[in-house]
DNA sequence: TCAAAAGTGTTCGATCTACACCCATGG
DNA sequence: CCATGGGTGTAGATCGAACACTTTTGA
């Protein structure tokens, strides 16, 4: 019999770098190694629901951006028995996150996406796939916002994109493009206590996004 | 216990339209309905391998472009028991295809991708996902070639892209772009017995593609 | 008054689009 | 010699990269 699990690649953004939330496994197999949070799939839960539950259990967050990556199913990916896994990636605002309950016994760690420790099973590959998918998705859907607090500056946003894509972007052009899209609302607020001209804080215009989406618009960075 | 199956969306190109290969189910559940070819996953086969086997059994073809779409796992997607499915899509040259053995008992049919009959389970949704994924993939990897015979004209190729993307493309610009990419080899041959200027036949330059890929090139239609 | 980062104007070249035109073949 | 689809040249618009510049704040 083939068993099925669900694993989550949880991305966060901190100190201008893209992070992944990993756990230290407290049980065999691969006890002690770092790994993606996940669970076995049970008969009464959809796979998407199962990913939501995993996310909730570990971060205590609801209503998070969550998208399937793909299924991984090589015969030898898991020791001892046949387990295929269906992987999801999530984008969260690291400020809202609070490590909780079910996972307190384990060590939780935000790791740099390009400085990963040794990982259990094929989780390294899964994270690579997740990052690759994110890189693509981010170019034609405005999902980068999910990694930021509700209010953010344009520089914050640019840094998110630079961290995800691992390239430098031109400030002038980045701002011009974002302006054209009309997806940002000026909150009227500004940064405080910064030793330079304070940046305007924006928020993402969810309604405009839905509207543009229906018109067949697509976000192009 | 959750069971796992693999389903294949097999795309072909004929009469200037994009087609999907469907079977008529000979057993319950959904006996008599049209559906995607697929199989249950067994313990000793990778999911990719299982998709390859399905493809081989139904088309007798090897070494085909085959890519995972995603897993579908709503609780009620399959009647009577819990079955999740992992879906793949394939691109084949319809001329090479020969319906064979394992499936002779069933009716096989190439259906227009936008005139689908009533389908079993959630296979309608799976095909829609496949088409959506194909639309995206085709814009940054030169996979359209897989739907054509070894030698083809530029008009053939343009029609493939128009059928996949369901839009009209400008002849002049399409050709200019393809020229820039240097992915085509002039075979020196021409069409015969056509009542107009015969078109030059090209083939896809596999080596050049690999080389460009390593250099980080990306095909942009 | 200085450093630091926010924010803007503008030029230049590449790319995309649209249209017009010529070419080779069978009937 | 005509209809048909193959194949090309080019002007104008649009887009993106790059650079230099002004602005506002805290120290």
Alpha carbon A219 to chain centroid, angstroms: 19
- Closest by CA to B181, choosing from B203, B159, B212, B206, is B212
Q: Distance between CA A4 and CA A85 in Å, rounded?
A: 6
A6-20, A31-45, A82-96, A203-217: which range is least confident on average? A203-217
- Closest by CA to B161, choosing from B18, B19, B20, B21, is B18
Q: Distance between CA A67 and CA A133 in Å, rounded?
A: 10
By C1' distance from the Cα of A169, the closest nucleotide is D17
Q: What is the pLDDT of residues A18-63, one digit of tens each?
A: 999 999 998 889 999 999 999 999 999 999 999 999 999 988 888 9
pLDDT at B8: 98
The answer to whether A167 contacts chain B (CB < 8 Å) is no
A86–B68 CB contact, under 8 Å: no
pLDDT at B105: 52
pLDDT at A139: 86
Encoded tokens for B125: 């949704």
Mean pLDDT, chain B, rounded, equals 92
pLDDT at A68: 98
Burial category of A15 from C-beta neighbours within 10 Å (exposed 0-12, middle 13-18, buried 19 and up) = exposed
Which residues in chain A touch residue B130, judged by CB atoms under 8 angstroms apart? none
pLDDT at B75: 97
Q: Are strands B38-40 and B34-35 parallel, antiparallel or unpaired?
A: unpaired
pLDDT at B107: 84
Q: Are strands A184-190 and A200-204 parallel, antiparallel or unpaired?
A: antiparallel
- Peptide bond connecting B29 to the previous residue in cis, omega within 30 degrees of 0: yes
Question: With pLDDT > 90 as the criterion, what percentage of chain B qualifies?
Answer: 76
Q: What is the pLDDT of residues A163-182, one digit of tens each?
A: 999 998 999 999 999 988 88
A3, A47, A125, A139: best to mutate for the B interface, most B CBs within 10 A: A47
pLDDT at A219: 81
A71–B86 CB contact, under 8 Å: yes
B73–A48 CB contact, under 8 Å: yes
C-alpha distance from residue B102 to each of A80, B44, B81 (Å): 33, 20, 25
Q: What is the pLDDT of residues B72-126, one digit of tens each?
A: 999 999 999 999 999 999 999 998 887 664 554 568 899 999 999 999 999 999 9
Q: Distance between CA A143 and CA A219 in Å, rounded?
A: 10
How far away is chain A from the Cα of B86, in angstroms, using its nearest Cα?
7
Give me the residues of A, 20-49, that contact B with CB < 8 A. 41-48
- Peptide bond connecting B61 to the previous residue in cis, omega within 30 degrees of 0: no
Q: Are strands B65-72 and B83-91 parallel, antiparallel or unpaired?
A: antiparallel
B1, B2, B45, B52: best to mutate for the A interface, most A CBs within 10 A: B2
Kindly tell me if the per-residue pLDDT of A103 is higher than 60. Answer: no
A75–B46 CB contact, under 8 Å: yes
CATH 1.10.10.10 fits B150-214, yes or no: yes
pLDDT confidence of B11, banded at 50, 70, 90? very high
The answer to whether A18 contacts chain B (CB < 8 Å) is no
For nucleotide C5, the protein residue with its alpha carbon nearest to C1' is A196
C-alpha distance from residue B89 to each of A85, B15, B44, B58, B163 (Å): 19, 20, 22, 14, 16
Encoded tokens for B190: 């021409």
Q: Which residues touch strand D (CB under 7 A)?
A: A 170-173, 177, 190, 192-198, 220; B 153-155, 171-172, 175-176, 195-200
Mean pLDDT, chain A, rounded, equals 91
- CA of residue A178 to C1' of nucleotide C15, angstroms: 21
Element housing A49 (H / E): helix A47-59
* CA dihedral for A52, A53, A58, A59, sign (positive or negative): positive
A41–B75 CB contact, under 8 Å: no
CATH class assigned to A3-140:
alpha beta
Q: What is the pLDDT of residues B154-201, one digit of tens each?
A: 999 999 999 999 999 999 999 999 988 889 999 999 999 999 999 999
CB A4 within 8 A of CB A49: no
pLDDT confidence of A107, banded at 50, 70, 90? confident
For chain B, the structural domain boundaries read 3-140, 150-214
The answer to whether B82 contacts chain A (CB < 8 Å) is yes
Nucleotides of D under 7 A from a protein CB: 3-10, 16-20, 23-27
pLDDT confidence of A67, banded at 50, 70, 90? very high
Encoded tokens for B41: 């996953």
Mean pLDDT within B36-49: 96
CATH architecture of A144-214: Orthogonal Bundle (1.10)
Q: Distance between CA B105 and CA B85 in Å, rounded?
A: 24
Q: Distance between CA A44 and CA B114 in Å, rounded?
A: 33
The answer to whether A82 contacts chain B (CB < 8 Å) is yes
Mean pLDDT within A187-213: 92
pLDDT at A101: 45
């Amino acid at each position: 019999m083939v068993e099925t699990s669900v694993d989550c690649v949880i991305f966060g953004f901190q100190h201008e770098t893209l992070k992944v939330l990993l756990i230290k496994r407290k049980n065999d197999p691969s006890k002690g190694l770092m790994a993606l949070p996940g669970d076995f799939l049970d008969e009464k839960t959809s796979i998407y629901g199962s990913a939501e539950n995993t996310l909730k259990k570990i971060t205590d967050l609801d209503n998070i951006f969550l998208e399937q990556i793909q299924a991984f199913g090589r015969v030898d990916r898991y020791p001892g028995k046949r387990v295929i896994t269906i992987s999801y990636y999530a984008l969260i605002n690291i400020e809202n996150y609070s490590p909780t309950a079910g996972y307190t016994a384990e060590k939780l760690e935000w790791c740099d996406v390009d400085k990963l420790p040794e990982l259990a099973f094929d989780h390294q590959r899964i994270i690579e796939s997740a990052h690759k998918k994110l890189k693509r998705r981010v170019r034609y859907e405005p999902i980068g916002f999910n990694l930021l607090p509700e209010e953010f500056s344009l520089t914050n946003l640019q840094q998110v994109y630079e961290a995800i894509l691992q390239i430098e972007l031109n400030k002038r052009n980045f701002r011009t493009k974002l302006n054209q899209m009309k997806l940002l609302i000026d909150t009227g607020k500004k940064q405080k206590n910064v030793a330079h001209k304070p940046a305007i804080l924006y928020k993402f215009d969810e309604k405009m996004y839905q509207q543009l989406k229906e018109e067949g618009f697509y976000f192009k960075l």
